[in-house]
């Protein structure tokens, strides 16, 4: 079987989750807490974030949730804020996050493109910050398809983005890899009849992903070796 397409999650897959969002979250919480560290710590705990360690907990809503999901969770502690405005604000400042690649991305994506594989990104982040992050990493031009939770195809664990990727490029889902660091990513891939591959550059452990993944890799840098495997000739 020859792989015809690869659909990547963004945060935790292309980019290391903790290194990218750990410090950013602290700054964000300080801002919406009006500089009150006590309130920022409390709010962080509410969304599964350790303010002192600058790390997310494994069950944090931020890991796989959409900006709208996260904003709704925050509003449970900040009821005077407006949901639409808070979501928009989160998307705007997320664009400026200092992203940290999980592996050297340019040579990897260049190699995959040389094999005539369609490449896409399906993220529960908003489309505007998603494109900004890919552009900042200088890899946006490698992707044939980039969608977010606000692009009109739903959000993971729904499979709308996965189905659209296959439909747009006339790809058989059985020849497409869905690669992600969360259960949401893998469930979405399974629902679309893709090959679901888990990576360990997010928060989830191998034990947490194993029941949903066809294969688990340490990171996406191992994809070329996977493609040379006898199962993908």
Q: Cα separation of 63 and 5, whole Å? A: 25
pLDDT tens-digit profile of 168-189? 999 999 999 999 999 999 999 9
Q: Is the pTM higher than 0.75? A: yes
Please list the alpha-helical segments (H only) found in the chain: 17-32, 37-46, 61-64, 67-75, 83-94, 105-113, 127-136, 160-168, 183-191, 206-209, 223-227
* Inter-residue contact 198 to 217 (CB < 8 Å): yes
Buried-state track 66-83, b at ≥16 Cβ within 10 A, e below 16: bbbbbbebbeeeeeeeee
pLDDT tens-digit profile of 83-103? 999 999 998 989 989 999 999
Q: Cα separation of 54 and 46, whole Å? A: 14
Q: Given pLDDT bands bounded at 50, 70 and 90, which one contains residue 232? A: low
pLDDT at 230: 54
Give the single-character DSSP code of 90.
H
Residue ranges and CATH numbers for the domains of the chain are: 5-16+101-232 (3.40.50.1000), 18-94 (no CATH)
Q: What is the CA radius of gyration of the chain?
A: 17
The angle formed by the CA atoms of residues 46, 50 and 51, to the nearest 5 degrees, is 95
Q: What is the mean pLDDT of residues 208-214?
A: 97
CA atoms within 13 A on the CB side of 199: 26
Is the pLDDT at 5 greater than 90? The verdict is: yes
Task: Of 193, 152, 132, give the one whose Cα is nearest residue 7.
Answer: 193
pLDDT at 231: 67
């Amino acid at each position: 079987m020859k792989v015809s397409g690869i659909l990547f999650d963004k945060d935790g897959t292309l980019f290391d989750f903790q290194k990218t969002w750990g410090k950013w979250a602290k700054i964000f919480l300080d801002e919406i807490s009006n500089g009150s560290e006590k309130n920022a710590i409390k709010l962080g705990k509410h969304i599964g974030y350790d303010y002192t360690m600058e790390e997310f907990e494994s069950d944090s809503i931020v890991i796989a949730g959409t900006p709208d999901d996260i904003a709704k969770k925050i509003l449970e502690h900040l009821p005077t804020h407006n949901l639409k405005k808070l979501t928009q604000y989160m998307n705007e400042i997320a664009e400026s996050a200092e992203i940290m690649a999980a592996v050297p991305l340019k040579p990897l994506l260049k190699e995959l493109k040389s094999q005539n594989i369609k490449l896409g990104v399906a993220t529960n982040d908003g489309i505007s910050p998603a494109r900004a992050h890919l552009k900042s990493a200088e890899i946006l031009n490698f992707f044939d398809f980039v969608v977010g939770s606000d692009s009109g195809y739903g959000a993971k664990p729904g499979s709308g983005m996965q189905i659209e990727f296959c439909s747009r490029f006339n790809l058989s889902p059985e020849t497409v890899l869905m690669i992600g660091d969360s259960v949401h990513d893998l469930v979405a891939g399974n629902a679309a009849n893709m090959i679901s591959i888990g990576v360990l550059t997010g928060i989830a452990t191998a034990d947490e992903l194993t029941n949903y993944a066809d294969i688990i890799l340490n990171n996406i840098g191992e994809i070329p070796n996977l493609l040379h495997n006898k199962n993908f000739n």
